A and B are shown apart, each in its own frame.
Chain A
Amino acid sequence: MGSLEELQCLQGHSDRVWQVSWSPSGDMLASCGGDRTVRIWRHDAANPERWLCTAILEDTHSRTIRSACWSPCGRFLATASFDRTTAVWQHQGGVWEVVAMLEGHESEVKEVAWNPNGGMLATCSRDKTVWLWEVQPGHEYEVVDVKHGHSQDVKTVRWHPLGEVLVSASYDDTIKLWVEEDDEWVCAQTLAEPGVGHASTVWEVAFDAVGERMVSCSDDCTLKIWGCCRADSGEQQWTLLSTLSGFHDRTIFSVDWSKQGLIASGCADNAIRIFGQEGGGEQDQVDSAAATPGVWGLFMQQDSSRRPATGSSSDKASSSSDSGVATFRLLSTRQPAHPLDVNCVRWHPTDPTLLASAGDDCCIKLWRWHAAPT
């Protein structure tokens, strides 16, 4: 089924680590947390297997740094803080400096995300809003839209890999998809129907490699897999494909989808779990169904015969879906992965078997995924 081997434990933060983020090329890892600092980790030149802290970014945020996101070019790092600001850092000549401070949110900023072409930033906040910022020449950031719509604390924002959709998720238990229409961003869809949407706070979402599927994680202890269907007009319509329930014992704070199709989850029960798709080997590249939008029509059909639980470690675990094609199975559970809550899991962008995680234990861990021989 596969297993996670712990490669290294990166220590240095003096408080809970909230998030880790790989640079686009994967040569750097940024981490941030309750100690109000960002640490930048790189390969040790003398020992390429080991990662070292090579920079500490501090004295800019006065409260917890909740999120850090690299620009697609890898030269900028944006950081979101409970101090209501978002900072943009530039890495030049081996030095990190703040080149912009984005202010306007009325409460804690929970997440920042750069769009795929690097021209826009999205931020979200406890103040229930999502802000869109356009990058202007000279490190100027202009607010192009402020989106109200969530009724509570917005926990996360993520861009679709093609950049045309922004996803936000909230303490109000909903996921919202935002698209641009005539210079304005509008809510195209809210994933919240009773029995379909999450039953509690949605903490994070992640897309698969091609952006045809999305996974969300929640305080309701489930993961949900969503599929995209394109109407003839080209509009996206997202529907629930599968709910993975019974696998997690407490809040799931983080989820990430590797380019090879593996889903990792970070949970308040201290565990990291790895899920893969039923039917295909876990090392499959993106399967043909995901690459062919038309096939997603399959998932629109209601199937009354729910599949029985598969590949689970507990009797109550189940992965119900409208089509067997979308059934995921638990491949591996690492428990404990950290001695305390796991707050973040992130696959390396180019090495598909390398995973980073962050925990309440102030540590970051690097893991190697070993798929079991078939």
Chain B
Amino acid sequence: MELINPAPVVHERKATRRRLARATLKSGEEDKREPIDSLEVFEHIRDITDPEHPYTLEQLNVVSEEHVEVDDAGGMVKVRFTPTVEHCSMATLIGLCIRVKLLRALPPRFKADILLYPGSHASEAAVNKQLSDKERVAAALENPNLLSMVDRCLGSSF
């Protein structure tokens, strides 16, 4: 099969600085639950494999920490992803992989919005609408072929 983007630009996996986190906590706050932040959400999705290349979404610059927003108290996560080319027919599948990974990795109280980075795709509105329709997402995940594709992409991310 012809590749959609035969020669993608590959970036290095960045080292992340873990927050000072616990070290800076005042005494008495040790038992407090650490809120989920954008770095933690990014960690869940950065190593998802691209559907057509042996690289991760981070290496292809499809996802980055700056494009993850988290409101822990409100239970909201917003991930904006950028396909490598703006006519990418894999955009829906990539978005579905991100959604499934977050469904599995985050507490169920979190509501995730998975969106294309504005202007990054020719069919941005249509892809966004499909990714936000939980009924269609549920139906897609009952399709064994699609589910195995998603699982293959997610295999590297756990």
Contact = CB atoms under 8 A, between A and B. Distances in A.
Given A250-B111, A339-B109, A340-B109, A82 B132 contact: no
A64 B133 contact: no
A212 interface: no
Nearest to B108: A340
Given A16-B138, A63-B142, A64-B139, A268 B133 contact: no
Interface in B127-141: 129, 132-136, 138-139
A66 B135 contact: yes
B95 to A, nearest CB: 17
B134 A64 contact: no
B132 A110 contact: no
Given A171-B133, A200-B129, A219-B132, A64 B109 contact: no
A39 B111 CA distance: 27
A72 B120 CA distance: 51
A34 B129 contact: no
A219 B142 CA distance: 23
Contacts of B142: 63-64, 82
Interface string A179-210: 00000000000000000000011000000000
B129 A268 contact: no
Chain A interface SS verdict (over half): loop
Contacts, number: 36
Interface string B104-115: 000011010000
Interface residues of A, number: 22
Contacts of A200: 129
A282 interface: no
A150 interface: no
Contact of A108 (B109, B132, B139): B139
A34 B138 contact: yes
B139 A268 contact: no
Contacts of A251: 132
A126 B111 CA distance: 24
Nearest to B125: A200
A126 B136 CA distance: 9
Contacts of B138: 16, 34, 64, 82
A268 B135 CA distance: 12
Contact of A126 (B109, B129, B139): B139
Contacts of B139: 63-64, 82, 108, 126
Interface in B115-158: 129, 132-136, 138-139, 142
Nearest to A36: B142
Given A34-B138, A64-B139, A82-B139, A201 B108 contact: no
A34 B137 CA distance: 12
Contacts of A201: 129, 133
Contact of B136 (A34, A153, A250, A341): A153
A115 to B, nearest CB: 24
B147 to A, nearest CB: 12
Contacts of A219: 129, 132-133
Contacts of A339: 108-109
Interface in A118-149: 126
Interface string A316-347: 00000000000000000000000111000000
18 contacts: A34-B138, A63-B139, A64-B138, A64-B139, A82-B139, A82-B142, A126-B136, A126-B139, A153-B133, A155-B135, A171-B133, A201-B133, A250-B111, A251-B132, A339-B108, A340-B108, A340-B109, A341-B134
Given A82-B138, A155-B135, 14 more contacts: A34-B138, A64-B138, A64-B139, A108-B139, A126-B139, A153-B136, A171-B133, A219-B129, A219-B132, A250-B111, A251-B132, A339-B109, A340-B109, A360-B108
